[in-house]
Amino acid sequence: MAKAQEPEKVSAWGRVKQIGTVFSFTAKRDKLFVPLVAVAVAVPLVAALVALLLGAGWIWFPIAVMLALLGTMILLNLRSQKAMMAEAEGQPGASASIVETMRGDWRVSPAIASTTQFDMVHLVIGRPGVILLGEGNPNRVRGLIAQEKRRLVKVIGSADLRDFVIGNEEGQLPLAKLRVTLMKLPRTITGKDVNALDRRLTALSARPAMPKGAIPKNMRPPKMRGAQRR
């Protein structure tokens, strides 16, 4: 299972490159992003210029620059998330990828059950308990979820078990609302319980693989020579 790891330290220049990459990604996919950024930058700068012409001190200019940067970062955060959701829509494994990037202790096991038609069920363990996320054809996905619930209910104890089918039809959870929905779930177990669940479900998934190829002669069952006589 994918466990929460300590975030790697990023240098100041690396952070600037990341922001530039996100800015470029959002600008290419959101036509309103650049005009909104232009407005967010222009309004405080124009206000500072007017204040200077009216005799105010130069202190308003750095304040206007800070407000312009703040507005740009807020827009970048909001519009980039929307662009990323639109980009991920319809991609196999999108819901698992989104949960893996969420803040907090979320343990994600992608595609614990799947079909050849790209229907899949992802397992998520967190403070709200155990969550199953289904993607693909709703009928086939619900069958996979029911199968996994029967398997998991035997080992999760009193932890809550929830399931969601990702989609835009009635009774489904839109991908754009997945992050907010999970964050709003009540925290019913502790961090220690999350670790215990993780260990139990990891052990449940660790099934010994059958050896490939021909069975060695010393492992084959003995042949019966003739009919057994009484």
**What is the overall mean pLDDT for the chain?**
81
CA atoms within 13 A on the CB side of 203: 8
Q: What are the tens digits of pLDDT across the range 125-169?
A: 999 999 999 999 999 999 999 999 999 988 888 899 999 999 888
Q: What is the pTM of this model?
A: 0.63
Residue 6 lies in a domain: no
Reported residue count of the chain is: 230
Between 92 and 142, the higher pLDDT residue: 142
Confidence of residue 224 (pLDDT cuts 50, 70, 90): very low
- DSSP per residue, the chain: -B---PPPP--HHHHHHHHHHHHHHHHHH-TTHHHHHHHHHHHHHHHHHHHHHTT--TTHHHHHHHHHHHHHHHHHHHHHHHHHHHHHTT-TTHHHHHHHTSSS--EEEEEEEE-TTS-EEEEEEETTEEEEEEES-HHHHHHHHHHHHHHHTTTSTTS-EEEEEBSSSTTSB-GGGHHHHHHHS---S-HHHHHHHHHHHHHHH-PPPPPPSSPPGGGSPPPP-SPPP-
Together in a domain, 191 and 105: yes
Burial class of residue 117 (count of CB atoms within 10 Å of its CB; 0-12, 13-18, 19+): exposed
Together in a domain, 184 and 102: yes
Cα→Cα distances 208→71, 204, 211, 218, Å: 54, 11, 9, 20
Domain that holds residue 196: 94-205
pLDDT above 90 coverage of the chain, percent: 33
In this predicted structure, what is the pLDDT of residue 4? 45
For the chain, how many structural domains are there in total? 2
Together in a domain, 30 and 70: yes
The distance of Cα 181 from the centroid of its chain, to the nearest Å, equals: 12
Together in a domain, 79 and 160: no
Residue 230 lies in a domain: no
Confidence of residue 203 (pLDDT cuts 50, 70, 90): confident
Confidence of residue 90 (pLDDT cuts 50, 70, 90): low
Q: Domain boundary residue among 88, 123, 141?
A: 88
- Quick one: tokens of 9? 């330290």
Between 84 and 153, the higher pLDDT residue: 153
